[in-house]
Amino acid sequence: MLEPANAWTQGLDFPSRLFESGSTDYELYEEDGEFVLSVELPGFDPSEITASWNDGVLNVAGEHEDESRGTRRTYHRRFRFPKAIDEDGIEATYRNGILSVRLPVTVENAVSGTEIEIES
């Protein structure tokens, strides 16, 4: 029995949701030639958050210690991107508990690999 097409494409709602997981602490979408990632990190100070780019993967980490309460919160998530990113053009801001990272797509590398000739 054949499954309907939407059964095997479910969860591939490009580009609005590139990464599906059980958590909803981030939003990722593509617009105007760049990816935009927003991560909810309430209660963190900007100096407690790091973002780094390495070989197609964006790492976001945070560590917050509240000495008065004796608590420590950590956050770490990795985001892999399916297109080439202009590393020098990546920008990040942190406002009102939300880290926003803008990652421009490199146009000339948007289509990668080798084209395969199709014979008929």
At residue 5, the pLDDT reads 45
pLDDT at 18 over 50: no
pLDDT band, very low/low/confident/very high, at 80 (cuts 50, 70, 90)? very high
Q: Which of 5-19, 49-63, 70-84, 101-115 has the lowest mean pLDDT?
A: 5-19
Order of all β-strands in the sheet with 98-104: 26-31, 34-40, 98-104, 91-95
Arithmetic mean of pLDDT, 24-42: 91
Arithmetic mean of pLDDT, 55-77: 91
CA–CA separation, 83 vs 65, rounded Å? 36
Domains contained in the chain, CATH given: 26-104 (2.60.40.790)
